Amino acid sequence: MFYTKIIIALCLLSRFSFSQNDIDAIRYSQTFFGGSSRSKAMAGSFGALGADGTCMGINPAGIGLYKKGDINFSFGLRFNTTNANQNGKDDKGFKANLPFDGLTLVGAWDSETDKDNHYALGLSCNQIANFNSFTNIQGISNHKSITQDILATTGNNTIKNLDASFAGLAYEVYLIDTINGKFYSLVNTKYNVNQSKTIETTGRNNEWCFNYAYGYKDKLYVGATIGISSINFNYSSIYKETDDYDSIRKTNYDYDVWYYASEKVGGFKSLEYKETFKTSGSGFNLKLGMIYRINDFIRVGSSFHSPTIYNLTDTYVYNMSASYDEGGSFTSQNPPNPGGIFNYQIITPMKLTGSVAFLNKNIGALNIDYDILNYNQAYLSSSENSIFNGVNQTIKNKYRQTSNLRIGVETNIKPMYIRFGYAMYGSPFGETFSGNFVNTFFTGGVGFRNKKSYLDFSFTRRMNQENYYMYNPNYVDKTTLQIFGTTFAVTLGSKF
């Protein structure tokens, strides 16, 4: 029941603030591990281990453990599968892409006055979120229709005051009309129709890290990173209802209906509602970290990630069309070509991380990272005062503090290294390890190294489950989504 209330609130909010809502805030607040194949094979668990370029985005102090320069490039192949179940009907969506997973450039040198003190400068680019997915949902309506949702938004509004991106479009294509000042729909829910929705998303969040680190007496390492993120997110959904059974004929209405002979409107045949928006922009943050070498076998680390401040631009357009048994077919769009534009800002939660690593040069290494973050710290703003007051209050009320856990293991059987990892990213609603919206990762890989070069391979499997509603949950049945992401990646690198 808790989740249903949350999702109802989210669906209603998104209707009235275009695409700028708390779903956007959570999307850009949830970031995952990326970077080198060595790091991905160990589930991004490097907070106390150090000496990998990925550390710039995890614990900046880790770069201080470098004794030589390093350069590497990472690329991969990613598959995303979404299994959807709607009223007992299963459908599958699939999407593949070739992500650029990252690059690293590190320069390291000893202090001129004390060889036990080290300096390092680093530059890296990591993909911390990949948005590529395709979802396909189909099922019987169970005597429900999106027109019920449309009618619910009409309230006491006059025709000219209807929501232009939703009910206003429906009125333009004759899906709703009025008799004696009361709105009604051309879709009679006494009869079942087929419902379907396809959702395609593309894009990524790439973060450039500019890092400085210092190692004191090979015991204490401190570092700082300035992170600059680049976001590109594209969303397109097409919702359809079709009277495949030809049940809603002109004579099969149990309430008063206007017919328009000249427009050939009579008897519902099909409708389509398309939502499209694109988000682009950039953000910046600060990361601070430290690592302390207790002895040759144990290291501990901690880091602080400031909120990321994103400046974003959305372009959006909504289309609705309908066709009727009498032969009429109509389409309407809002806003008119080329669409609408909206500028706004998202501030993500800060994050605290504690880490511990156990090392044995002849056997390998184990690292554990534990993050704490509170999603109700996310915040939206714009130049239009108070426009996001309701959204920000929803964020505070609905989202919770949660945690992430990453565990990575590396086994040394020179010249080959075998790696495994596990990661759990908690739900924005507070759940961890199991339940909806919790992301689970299982990872592995191998690497080959000599004094000057290395080649690493990784495999990543991501799994999560969500409940989804094609529109307002008051008027449509739940869709269960099972989402699986599989990534194969390779890193080529050289020491200098």
Quote the tokens at residue 346. 């998202």
- pLDDT tens-digit map of 439-454: 999 999 999 999 899 9
- pLDDT tens-digit map of 414-426: 889 999 999 999 9
Output the pLDDT for position 268.
96
What are the residues whose beta carbons fall under 8 Å from the beta carbon of 386, sequence distance 6 or more? none
- pLDDT tens-digit map of 241-282: 999 999 999 888 999 999 999 999 999 999 999 999 999 999
How many Å apart are CA 359 and CA 366, to the nearest integer? 7
**Residue 9: pLDDT above 70?**
no
Domain carrying residue 131:
2-495
pLDDT band at residue 103 using 50, 70 and 90 as cut-offs: very high
CATH code for the domain in which residue 313 is found:
2.40.160.60
**Residue 339: pLDDT above 80?**
no
How many Å apart are CA 462 and CA 423, to the nearest integer? 9
* Overall domain count for the chain: 1
Output the pLDDT for position 13.
37
**Residue 7: pLDDT above 50?**
no
Q: End-to-end alpha-carbon separation of the chain, Å?
A: 58
- pLDDT tens-digit map of 189-237: 999 999 999 999 999 999 999 999 999 999 999 999 999 999 999 999 9
Helix, strand, coil % over all residues of the chain, rounded to 5 = 15, 55, 30
pTM for this predicted structure: 0.91
Neighbours of 198 (CB within 10 A): 17
What are the residues whose beta carbons fall under 8 Å from the beta carbon of 318, sequence distance 6 or more? 165, 166, 169, 273, 274, 275, 276, 333, 334
Average model confidence (pLDDT) across the chain? 93
Output the pLDDT for position 156.
85
**Residue 11: pLDDT above 80?**
no
Output the pLDDT for position 491.
97
How many Å apart are CA 229 and CA 169, to the nearest integer? 36
Mean pLDDT, rounded, for 56-65: 96
How many Å apart are CA 159 and CA 163, to the nearest integer? 9
Quote the tokens at residue 349. 């939660």
- pLDDT tens-digit map of 293-316: 999 999 999 999 999 999 999 999
Say what angle helices 2-16 and 389-398 make with each other, to 10 degrees. Answer: 170
From the centroid of its chain, how far is CA 123? 25
How many Å apart are CA 205 and CA 130, to the nearest integer? 6
How many Å apart are CA 287 and CA 70, to the nearest integer? 21
**For the ranges 7-11, 12-16, 243-247, 448-452, which has the lowest average pLDDT?**
12-16
Phi-psi sector, 44: left (phi>0), alpha (psi -120 to 50), beta? left
How many Å apart are CA 6 and CA 4, to the nearest integer? 5
How many Å apart are CA 267 and CA 187, to the nearest integer? 8
pLDDT band at residue 433 using 50, 70 and 90 as cut-offs: very high
How many Å apart are CA 351 and CA 285, to the nearest integer? 11
Mean pLDDT, rounded, for 130-142: 96
Output the pLDDT for position 15.
37
Output the pLDDT for position 19.
55
- pLDDT tens-digit map of 45-57: 999 999 999 999 9
The one-character DSSP state at 260 is B
- pLDDT tens-digit map of 31-47: 999 899 999 999 999 99
Quote the tokens at residue 449. 């190294």
